[in-house]
Structure 1
Amino acid sequence: MKFSHHFRYHCRALALAASLGLALGTAAHAATLKFANQGDALSLDPYSLDETQQLSLLGNVFEPLVGRGKKLELVPVLATDWKQTAPTVWRFDLRKNVTFQDGTPFTADDVIFSLKRAQDTGSDVKTFVQQIAEIKKIDDHTIDVITKQPFPILPQMITQWYIMSQKWCEANNAVHPADKAKKVENAASFKADGTGPYEIASREPGVRTVFERNPHYWGKIEGNVDKAVFTPISNGATRVAALLSGQVDLIEPVPLQDVPRIKANPDLKMLHGPELRTIFLGMDQKRDELLYSNVKGKNPFKDKRVRQAFYQAINIDLIKRVVMRGAATPTNLLLGPGINGFSPALNKRLPYDPAASKKLLAEAGYPNGFEVGMNCPNNRYVNDAQICQAVAQMLAHVGVKVDLTVEPKATYFPRILSHNTSFYMLGWSPSSYDAQNVLNALVATPDPKVGQGQFNIGGYSNPKVDQLTHEIASESDPAKRNQLIAEALKLTSDDIAYLPLHQQALAWGVKKDVHVVQVPDDNFFLKWVSVK
């Protein structure tokens, strides 16, 4: 299919620039890896939160039908082959002789069960399977996936839809997902039974998670990591100290101010690379009155002039230079280079212009500005709290008083996923590496029944964008499809649906005797790690 080859070209070009080679073959000795991140997975249920770090950690335990290789190319995982047999039918041949970690054989029934579970009311990964109408079992290792309409990027869309064991979920009363938005938990929140190369040996949420190699894994484990200990360390200085002292072997992210220290240490190395994630600010454009504002009886964010005023009050170059220390690429779009559909022609920001912001606010009826609450995480994105503090200060210069609340992602995500916010920060890295995912998840009018607009927390709505998003999903001609994407992105940009900020850069600190593969989607696979 021409579209797939075109798509892979973009991903391969970006990944080649950001990946580190790993010698083939399993090292002679088993090793323990100790690694740390600024935050923890909030659950072991792979359907409870569509968040990169959580899905990355769980991607060592659970597996999809189709996955990604070191160059972000599509690779067979639990499916050995797939092909379109009709406009709305995909035939998948499932891998034989695979067992879940409790010894239960993997079959087509687990895939069918996993679809129902992923489409459940409490699932946070509905966008992965939104286009699937049903799955028909041909035999234990053959299925037909029926889509609601022609959907040429189905294989790209399901690379982080992890398959769960029907038997295990039923035996552990975990048939339904653990809903983070409603703070619902079940056995899947704390235990895991996947088909992947590693098992969860022990789990202390917020403290430590221990992975051990799955002795019955069906595939090849290239690295020599037999055991891995993951520790969340929220404080940047403490995280760096742990690396410098040898308590951990790898940290992510490295605080930007500490990069020179790590580079200067002869026992350590810095791994830099572009990340596909875009950081942006969202606004409640749906409610008739904001939850957190001194403006009563109306919603300022419903007025494009107010949204534009906020946009032009943000000095993105200052944020890049001072807050991000140059490790950011300012953007006008919700997607960056490497994502299919990215358009350099549309990626031109409105100028930073506080005078224009004040004029727009006055025209909208707020000559003295107004007050609004803002929510931000402090341990999810690179310098997330500092970015929000800088934005609050910039808005103050045009008369907008921001009441900023920063908090750990453990409480932040449940808050914003329940739409308990007026102004918020979010980062998005499309798992399909395609603009359709961005438009469908962030921009389309929310429809909870199918997962459309699932992360459109501010409720932005444009019927024309919805129509284009629907057409993009089924269009198979690459040229026509990209024209539709460009039109949808332009409408979104013209409406100032969001306040795009930048694509952040990856910054990992690693011991020199540890070889890892760093890819732009920020997924970390233990099976590719080797320790000398």
Structure 2
Amino acid sequence: MIDLLRVCAAAGALTAATSLPAVAADFRFAGPLDAYTLDPHAVSNTLVFAVLRNVYEPLVQRGPDLTLQPVLATEWSQVDDLTWEFKLREGVSYSDGSAFNADDVVFSFERAKKGGMSSHLADIASIEKVDDLTIRLISDEPNPVLPNQIVNWFMVDGDWARDNGAVEPGQADNSTEGYANRNTLGTGPYIISGRDPGVRTDFSANADWWGERQGNVETASFFVISNPSTRVSALITGEVQMIDGVPPQDTARIEQTAGLRIAATPDLRTVYLQPDVLRDALLHGGGTDGNPFKDKRVREAMSLAIDTQAIQQRVMRGYSTPVGLPIAREVAGSTDELSAPAVTDVERARALMEEAGYADGFQVTLDCTNDRFMNDEATCLAIGSFLSQINIDITPRTQATARWAQQINPPGYNTSLAMLSYSPYTYDAHQFLTGIAVTRDEDGGRGAFNIGGYSNPEIDRLTTEIGAETDPEKRSALLEETLTILKEDHAFIPVHQLQILWGLQEGVDVVQLADLAYPLAWFTVPE
């Protein structure tokens, strides 16, 4: 097991030098994987956001009650059909004392547009500086939900980036080694005071933060413990006070241990398969000519062959919900009918494979993570077993998230079949459609994380129409129409919606957000 006490001692030496108040509390927590970059504009990645939201800040964010709340913007309004105006907070500085102003927002917009965050800003055509504390975001079409789309767009000091050669964001696949990958400068409640990538990240309170922490965490150490059993043991022995990614099979053990408890809440994250439907031949597979995934009957057969109820019961121990869409039930656009999972029917699946000319099946590699979310590797193996019933011979390739992401993410999209997960932080299906379901547009940023290369002109048209529709009823109808087409195309094969499972020491009071964030400023721990 990792010697956390030794690592904690090193972190303690760091914090001791800052002369913290006597009431300061230190927090030690662990999760299965690290944020593989510290660049806030390199990639749209849940864990990267979870770590960086303590250091960098957006204009607006979701509060504990999930409503939008002001952060670096104090107010915002739609001044006309195409323009949103944001008033910036006065007197905000970065942790090195540099002043935050509208120039940084303009710089952060231009920088983020060039990186993996481009899909978040794809509906915004341009930015305008009105004065030092006012900016406007301008769209080509009306966008009634624009503030919801920018909660993870973090602000970067333009001078800092220019001085350190970090004007361009890192690549989403982490193939570039830039200054911002390993260094941070934000306006948030904490600074990163120490970091050993893949091992630990230390946080210290930003003494000059403009806001007021709701909790009492002054210093924190986040440890990466990929092995689930080791992670649970670290909680039980008191080496850490909280763990993320509790294996469902260990929840009873934690609850039966004096002084420990489980905190669970629905996760917006859904797990789904996406086959490569763009290439004319399997990149990682064989046993057939061409690309079987181009045939909708093959994709439907896969959906019918995977027993998601069995995965829920046997693999997830009840801590998941089978779904019929690649978005969670709580997301705007989902309906009871659309969310209903496919009913397993292996005989029908075999008939579809025969109709498509693949009765004898084919071989393909399924790219999965083994440390990204709860029981991901076990789910991957179970899917392979179910697909073998229709003669799809799966070779699971399970990897650490950092390597997996470098392989499958843009610009390479180096996969034939991937198990993915997604959490639309806007709580709106339009975000999924814009970033993942529409045809890839390298210049505009739409569809940047459409890993399988799915393209349907009708989906593209409807997604644009949804983005511009201001009437709530009409917008809901358009979302339902679009998701119906997407479901019938079977280009995304849903598995389940996850739950967030944290193991906690008694006395540790946390806020669990559906986007998996670790908002340290809202945590209270024993002093």
The TM-score by the shorter chain falls in which range?
Answer: over 0.9
- What's the Cα RMSD here? 1.1
SS of the residue corresponding to residue 466 of structure 2 reads helix
Q: Shift of the alpha carbon at 1:461?
A: 1.2
Q: 1:96, 1:141 within 8 Å by CA — same for their partners in 2?
A: yes
After superposing on structure 2, the runs of 4+ consecutive aligned residues of structure 1 that deviate more than 4 Å are: none
Give, in whole Å, the separation in 2 of the partners of 1:358 and 1:140.
64
Determine if the alignment matches structure 1 residue 512 to structure 2 residue 511. no
Q: 2:128 aligns with which of 128, 136, 139?
A: 136
Determine if the alignment matches structure 1 residue 281 to structure 2 residue 293. no
Q: 2:261 aligns with which of 230, 245, 269?
A: 269
SS of the residue corresponding to residue 397 of structure 1 reads helix
Q: 2:287, 2:361 within 8 Å by CA — same for their partners in 1?
A: no
Which of 275-284 and 131-140 deviates more? Answer: 131-140
Determine if the alignment matches structure 1 residue 252 to structure 2 residue 244. yes
Q: Shift of the alpha carbon at 1:350?
A: 2.7
What's the counterpart of residue 67 of structure 1?
61
Q: 2:325 aligns with which of 309, 329, 333?
A: 333
Give structure 2 stretches of 5+ with no counterpart: 1-20
Q: 1:49 aligns with which of 31, 34, 43?
A: 43
Give, in whole Å, the separation in 1 of the partners of 2:140 and 2:42.
24
CA deviation map 1:73-103 (0-9, x unaligned)? 0000000000011111111100010001111
SS of the residue corresponding to residue 125 of structure 1 reads helix
Give, in whole Å, the separation in 2 of the partners of 1:350 and 1:469.
24
SS of the residue corresponding to residue 516 of structure 2 reads coil
What's the counterpart of residue 470 of structure 2?
476
What's the counterpart of residue 315 of structure 2?
323
What's the counterpart of residue 118 of structure 1?
112
Give, in whole Å, the separation in 1 of the partners of 2:226 and 2:320.
21
SS of the residue corresponding to residue 116 of structure 2 reads coil
What's the counterpart of residue 10 of structure 1?
none
Q: Shift of the alpha carbon at 1:520?
A: 1.8
Q: 1:383 aligns with which of 361, 365, 375?
A: 375
Q: Shift of the alpha carbon at 1:389?
A: 0.2
Matches within 5 A, 1:107-506: 107-120=101-114, 123-181=115-173, 183-417=175-409, 418-506=412-500
Give, in whole Å, the separation in 2 of the partners of 1:138 and 1:132.
17
CA deviation map 1:104-141 (0-9, x unaligned)? 10000000000110011xx1111111111111111110
Q: Shift of the alpha carbon at 1:396?
A: 1.2
State the one-letter code of the partner of 2:340. K
Q: 1:28, 1:224 within 8 Å by CA — same for their partners in 2?
A: no
What's the counterpart of residue 3 of structure 1?
none
TM score, norm. by length of structure 1: 0.93
CA deviation map 1:450-496 (0-9, x unaligned)? 11111111011111111110000010100000000000000000111
State the one-letter code of the partner of 2:500. L
Q: 2:333, 2:483 within 8 Å by CA — same for their partners in 1?
A: no
Give, in whole Å, the separation in 1 of the partners of 2:78 and 2:451.
34
**Paired-residue identity, %:** 41
SS of the residue corresponding to residue 286 of structure 2 reads coil
Q: Shift of the alpha carbon at 1:296?
A: 4.9
Give, in whole Å, the separation in 2 of the partners of 1:30 and 1:401.
56
Q: 2:362, 2:391 within 8 Å by CA — same for their partners in 1?
A: yes
State the one-letter code of the partner of 1:229. S
Q: Shift of the alpha carbon at 1:28?
A: 8.1
Q: Shift of the alpha carbon at 1:337?
A: 2.3
State the one-letter code of the partner of 2:133. H
Give, in whole Å, the separation in 2 of the partners of 1:218 and 1:149.
35
Q: Shift of the alpha carbon at 1:185?
A: 1.6
Q: Shift of the alpha carbon at 1:175?
A: 0.5
CA deviation map 1:194-253 (0-9, x unaligned)? 000000101110011100000000011111111000001000000000001111010001
Matched residues, number: 504
CA deviation map 1:389-448 (0-9, x unaligned)? 001011112211111100000100111102110011111111211010011112111111
Give, in whole Å, the separation in 2 of the partners of 1:206 and 1:236.
15
State the one-letter code of the partner of 1:131. D
Give, in whole Å, the separation in 1 of the partners of 2:81 and 2:248.
48
Q: 1:278, 1:428 within 8 Å by CA — same for their partners in 2?
A: yes
Give, in whole Å, the separation in 2 of the partners of 1:106 and 1:211.
21
Relative to 1, partners in 2 of residues 1:501 and 1:170: Cα closer, same or farther, differing over 3 Å? same
Q: 2:517 aligns with which of 503, 511, 523?
A: 523
CA deviation map 1:271-306 (0-9, x unaligned)? 011111111011000001110121454110000111
Q: 1:288, 1:297 within 8 Å by CA — same for their partners in 2?
A: no
Which of 341-350 and 476-485 deviates more? Answer: 341-350
Which of 364-373 and 204-213 deviates more? Answer: 364-373
Give structure 1 stretches of 5+ with no counterpart: 1-26
Give, in whole Å, the separation in 2 of the partners of 1:375 and 1:479.
39
State the one-letter code of the partner of 2:173. A
